Amino acid sequence: MTLFNTKPARLIVPGFHPDPTVCQTHDGRLLAAFSSFEYDPGLPVYESRDNGKTWSFCSHAASRPSQFTSTPLGNSQGFYAPTIREHNGTVYLIVTDVNRGAMIFRTKDVHGRWDDPLFIDGWPGIDPSLFFDDDGTVYICGNEAGGGDEKPGIYAAPINPDTAHIEGPRTFLIGGITGANPEGPHVYKRHGKDGSPDWYYLMWAEGGTEAGHMECMARSRSPLGPYAPFDGNPLVTNRSTHLIPQCIGHADLAGLDGFAGDPQLSALVFLGLRTNSDYPQQGWLGREPFLASLHWGKDGWPILTDQSFEVAADDPGLAVPYANPADAWISPGVDRDKLFAVTAADESDSASAHASTSTTASASKPVRVHVTALTPTGRMGTDFDSVHGPRLIGRRQTSMTDMFHVKLFHVSPTVSEVGALAYANARVWASIRFDVSERRVLADVYDEGLHSRLASLPLPKECDIQQCGIALRGSSEGYDLSFESTDGKQVFLGHVPCQIFASTHAGGFTGMLFGVFARGRGSADFMCR
């Protein structure tokens, strides 16, 4: 890949929405879905009615406790790499829950209720996808070996998507180009022009979802192969460049026989990691979805040889504001005890909520957040450990300069602590919290077992905790933490460098969350942006 043949891409939805999948419906809409891992509600689904120019939130395919693993979810467990497809008026979303296995969600209305999942017995690995062929045969395709004599790679088999029953043997399709982690496979069909035969295409990611990430393609005259690799592989990668985003790959296509009125064009989505300009580059927002286009050459292969992609570091994304801003809020683990309630703020509340620097879908409107506090157990940090159930709720950080502002307006006298935090996972976070009984404001960083105290300040006697504010201000360098006293005075508490939140340090497959929490017994209410 070179720096002299870059093409623009656009951020679809800001904040971590990894492993994008896309399809085109019978009425020309684009549907997209994303991984959610341990977060509840999960598997967000978006649509575009203008060929990808704007995207709006539709629903979460997993929105009820019955659709989730019954056991607690740890960091980066849960739902991995969905594939979304429409067929005969039904939308199918096939995905792996790494705690339970592969499964299929279905709906007739992506704005409404999704069925409880159908479990696929006897399909190993992760990243399953569906392909509906013209003759009525439906195939499941996925990666990893099933044990025994099977070699690692990508496999396919016929399946009934309405019963989740595998209807034939597994067929090995390809082992990848470099052999490193072939994953996220998709099978497509592109119909021949002017009487020429049809081609089946197999596209997959490999190299790991880090700096070596790339997307490759092969083709065949049969859905089960043999597949011949593209001489121009890798199809998509930004490896060995300083371009933004980094780690791109895990792609999907829509409009194989033409898109937006161009028979030689298809829509291409892929994930990437926006980074700052440090050396080495640092990225901590999580893996986000990007949209570009793919042109087909006369030889039937994509015209992407020696191709790189670039986006603006401050790209606000193509998603329109949520119709219900509460839809942006998620918890790391299933809220079976109903500890959290998020509602749209009244117009009268808007003036009291600090204006955010972000105008993206996730942070465009204030919300009221009600938290029921249950006394936590264990060492410092387990309050937020999803293994023991969620102890916080928040929204995705949508840009490096995104700011999270919280205003308290009710705290039960039996609540011991309330606060806000920048949360990477249960091992890495930074928080501002009020110790109610001691009347102190505390700023802390928790990094893989290392607890650092940034500030511990007494609150003035005239300061009413129930009227105090909290601010976490993001930048390309990290976070500035501060609180706002009753009289409006801003007090700086400390700076947390971005490096501890970077994906190379914090680990896992998710990204940054701005959230609120309460400890003790009782409840707390927040106004958040």
Sign of torsion over alpha carbons 245, 251, 254, 255: positive
Give Cα 443 to chain centroid, integer Å.
28
Query: What's the pLDDT score for residue 383?
Result: 53
Which backbone phi and psi does 223 adopt, to 5 degrees? -65, -25
Q: How confident is the model at residue 120 (pLDDT cuts 50, 70, 90)?
A: very high
What pLDDT, in 10s, does the model give residues 149-159? 899 999 999 99
Pick from 279, 280, 260: nearest CA to 268: 260
State which H helix or E strand residue 503 sits in.
Answer: helix 503-506
How far apart CA 57 and CA 320 sit, in angstroms, is 8
CA–CA gap between residue 527 and residue 455 (Å, rounded): 24
330 Cβ neighbours under 8 A, 6+ residues apart: 36, 39, 40, 41, 42, 393, 394, 395, 396, 513
Pairing of the two strands 90-97 and 30-33: unpaired
Catalytic option among 19, 38, 484, 525: 19
Please check the confidence at residue 280 and state whether its pLDDT lies above 90.
no
Q: Which amino acid is at 512?
A: M
pLDDT digits (tens, 9 = 90+) for 216-244: 999 999 999 999 999 999 999 998 888 99
**Could you give the CA distance from residue 129 to residue 192 in angstroms, rounded to a whole number?**
23
Distance CA 487, CA 254 (A): 54
Residue 167 has pLDDT above 50, yes or no: yes
**Catalytic-residue membership of 417:** no
CA distances from 492 to 206, 255, 345, 432, 442 (A): 44, 51, 27, 11, 11
Q: Does the structure show a pLDDT above 70 at 192?
A: yes
Neighbour-count burial of 408, counting CB atoms closer than 10 A to its CB (0-12 exposed, 13-18 middle, 19+ buried): buried
Tell how strand 228-229 and strand 171-174 pair up. unpaired
pLDDT of residue 351: 41
pLDDT score for 354 = 39
Per-residue pLDDT of 390-427, as tens digits, reads 689 999 999 999 999 999 999 999 999 999 999 999 99
In the predicted structure, residue 455 carries a pLDDT above the cut 70: yes
- Contacting residues for 295 by C-beta, under 8 A, at least 6 apart: 264, 265, 302, 303
Average pLDDT value over all residues in the chain = 91
Catalytic residue among 38, 97, 127, 183: 183
Percent of the chain scoring above 70 in pLDDT: 93
The dihedral through the CA atoms of 301, 307, 311, 313 has a sign that is positive
Contact assessment for residue 228 and residue 220, using Cβ atoms and an 8 Å cutoff: yes
Between 432 and 353, the more confident residue is 432
Q: How far is CA 280 from CA 38, 52, 212, 502, 504, in A?
A: 29, 33, 15, 11, 11
**What element of type H or E holds 147?**
none
Whether 127 is catalytic: no
Give the mean model confidence (pLDDT) for residues 194-212: 92
Q: Against a cut of 0.85, is the pTM above it?
A: yes
Domains of the chain with bracketed CATH: 6-310 (2.115.10.20), 325-528 (2.60.120.200)
Q: How far apart are the first and last CA of the chain?
A: 41
Q: What is the pLDDT of residues 468-505, one digit of tens each?
A: 999 999 999 999 999 998 888 899 999 999 999 999 99
Alpha carbons 53 and 277: distance in angstroms, whole number: 28
Sign of CA dihedral 503, 507, 512, 516: negative
The whole-number pLDDT of residue 195 equals 80
